[in-house]
Amino acid sequence: MKDITLKHRRAGFALDAEFALAGARVTALFGPSGAGKSTIIAAIAGLIRPEFGRITIAGECVFDSQSGIFVQPRARRIGVMFQDLRLFPHLSVEDNLFYGWRRAQSRPARGAADEVVELLGLSQLLKRKPQALSGGERSRVALGRALLMGPRALLLDEPLASLDAARKAEILPYFEKIVRETRIPMLYVSHALDEIARLADHMVLLDHGRVVAEGPVFELTARLDLFSGSQLIPGTVLPATVLRHDEVHGLTEIGVGAELLVVPRVMQNPGNDIRIRIDAEDVMLSLTRLEAVSANNVLPATIADIRKNGPHADVQLQVAGARLVARITRRSLQRLDLSPGLPVFAVIKSVTVGGREG
C-alpha cells in the first residue's frame, strides 16, 4: 500500500493523489502552481483534514478516513518548513529555533541541537529578532526550527521560492548538508528542477491534483513525455563518480557509466559518488566526432527518442548506460536527418555538479 493516499475537494479543485515515500530519503513533489502540492503538505502535517485517504509516516498511520484516525498536528512529529517561513516575530532567533525542541518528547540532545545551529551558520545570530535577518538567514532559521523538534519526517514547502537566485545559491548548500548529515525522510515541494536535481532521490510529478509519474529522479528527468511540451527545460540528472583531480588545469575527471567527463574542480574526493545535472540546452549533437572543438566533453550516443516541441525538438540519447536529453531546433533536426537508432556524438557544453552524493 502507498504511504500517501488522498482525495480532497475544494472549490474548483480536486486532489486525487497516491504515492510512496518508501526508501527514499528525499522525495520531491514537483508540479506547476495549483497542482495540489501545498494541499498535500497541509494534509500530511495535519493542518487540513482530507475527505478520504490514508497517510502513513515512518510506519505510523496519522490519518485514515476509513477508521476515523486523525492524529493532531502537534502529536504527529512532522517538521514543516513553510513557504512563508512563519517565524515568530516576537521571539529571538534562539527561541524560534528551540520552540519545537522545548516541546518535543524525543528530541535531539542539546549538544546535537547546537551542532545543527552551527551547521546552519546561525550561532552568531541567536539573540536577533527574525526581522533583523536577511532572507537567506530567515530560511535557515525556519529549517533549523523544523529540524530541532526531532521530526520523523520533514516537509519542505517550496522553501526557496521566495528567494532570488543569489540567495538560493547561498541556501542550497545548507540543504545539501542537512540531507547528507541527517537520516530524516524529506518531502521537498518545488517547481524548480534545479533544486530537485540537487537534493532529491525520488520524484513525484503532480498536475491538476493527480500524480502523473513517480520514480527515481535519474529516470524521471530524462523522460521526454513528462517535460517536453511544458515550459520547463528538461535537464538530465545523472549519478557520477569522482575519478581524479587535474590540479594543473583546475579540473576534475568524473565517470558517468563507462564514459569520462571533465568538469571544473569539485570539492569531493576521488571515489566519492556525486550527481551531475546536464541541461538539455547545453547539449549539442554532431554526426561526426568533433576534434577541433572547445567543449571537453564529447560522448558517443545513440538516439533513443525524439519529441517535437514548438520550434524545438527534444532528443533523448542513450549514453553510457544512462539517458541524456538534448534540446535542438526543429531545423537542425531536419538538416541532420536525425531519427531513433542513429549513432551521434553529444557535445556537452556545461555540467552542473551537485554537492550531495548520488
Partner 1 sequence: MGGILTAAETEALLLSLRVALAAVVVDLPFAFAAALLLARSRFPGKWLVDGIIHLPLVLPPVALGYLLLISFGTRAPLGSFLLENFGMRFVFSWTGAALASAILTFPFQVRAIRLSLESQEAGLSDAAGTLGASALDRLFTLHLPLAAPGILAGVITAFAACLGEFGAIITFVSNIPGETRTIPLAIYTAIQSPGGETEAARLAAMSILLALAGLVLADIAGRRARLAIGR
Q: Which is nearer to partner 1, 68 or 89 (CB)?
A: 89
Looking at 130, 159, 234, 235, which residue binds partner 1 (CB under 8 A)? Answer: 130
Shortest Cβ 280–partner 1 spacing (Å): 37
Q: Are strands 235-246 and 251-256 parallel, antiparallel or unpaired?
A: antiparallel
Q: For residues 122 and 256, which CB has a smaller minimum distance to partner 1 in the complex?
A: 122
Residue 176, CB-side half-sphere exposure with 13 Å CA sphere: 19
- Give least dist CB 216 to partner 1, A: 29
300 makes contact with partner 1 (CB under 8 A): no
The site string for partner 1 over 79-118 (x = CB under 8 A, - otherwise) reads xx-x-x-x-xxx--------xx--xx--------------
Q: Could you write out the DSSP letters of every residue in 294-343? A: S-SEEEEEEEEEEEEETTEEEEEEEETTEEEEEEEEHHHHHHHT--TT-E
CB of 151 to partner 1, least distance (A): 9
Half-sphere exposure of 76 toward its Cβ, with a 13 Å CA cutoff? 24
Q: At what angle do helices 165-181 and 135-148 cross, to 10 degrees?
A: 20
- Specify the DSSP element, H or E, that contains 186: strand 186-190
Contact 249, 296 (CB under 8 A): no
Build a one-symbol-per-residue string for 201-220: x at contacts with partner 1 by CB under 8 A, - elsewhere.
Answer: --------------------
- Identify which of 198, 209, 205 has the alpha carbon closest to the alpha carbon of residue 220: 205
Determine, following the binding rule CB under 8 A, whether residue 276 of this chain makes contact with partner 1.
no
Contact between 22 and 202 under an 8 Å Cβ cutoff? The reply is no
Sole window of 141-149, 207-215, 239-247, 303-311 interacting with partner 1 (rule: CB under 8 A): 141-149
- Report the nearest approach of partner 1 to the CB of residue 115 (Å): 20
Judged by CB under 8 A, the chain residues 145 through 174 that form the site for partner 1 are 145-146, 149
Q: Report the residue number, 187 or 237, with the smaller CB distance to partner 1.
A: 187
Q: Considering the complex, what minimum distance in angstroms separates the CB of residue 305 from partner 1?
A: 43
Gap between the Cα atoms of 115 and 283, Å rounded: 41
* d(C-alpha 320, C-alpha 309), whole Å: 26
Q: Say whether residue 73 binds partner 1 (CB under 8 A).
A: yes
Q: Which of residues 30-49 bind partner 1 (CB under 8 A)?
A: 45-47
| Among 358, 325, 317, residue whose Cα is nearest residue 236 | 325
- All 3 cell numbers of residue 188? 521537498
Options 67, 72, 269, 294; binder of partner 1; rule CB under 8 A: 72
Verify binding: residue 131, partner 1, rule CB under 8 A. yes
Strand partners, 131: none
How far is it, in rounded angstroms, from Cα 339 to Cα 328?
Answer: 13
Write down the least CB distance from residue 178 to partner 1, Å.
17
Site track 221-260 with partner 1 (rule: CB under 8 A), x = hit: ----------------------------------------
CB closer to partner 1 out of 75 and 169? 75
Contact in structure between 311 and 246 (CB atoms under 8 Å):
no
Q: Residue 71's CB: how many other CB atoms inside 10 A?
A: 17
C-beta of 84: minimal distance to partner 1 in Å?
Answer: 6
Q: Are 222 and 236 in contact (CB under 8 A)?
A: yes
Taking the least distance from each CB to partner 1, the nearer of 100 and 354 is: 100
CA separation (Å) from 146 to 107, 121, 130, 331?
Answer: 11, 15, 15, 50
Neighbours of 356 (CB within 10 A): 22
Sign of CA dihedral 338, 340, 342, 346: positive
Q: Least distance from C-beta 91 to partner 1, angstroms?
A: 8
103/335 with CB nearer partner 1: 103
Q: Determine which residue in the list 7, 25, 129, 245 makes contact with partner 1, applying CB under 8 A.
A: 129
Residues within the interface to partner 1 (CB under 8 A) = 45-47, 72-80, 82, 84, 86, 88-90, 99-100, 103-104, 129-131, 145-146, 149
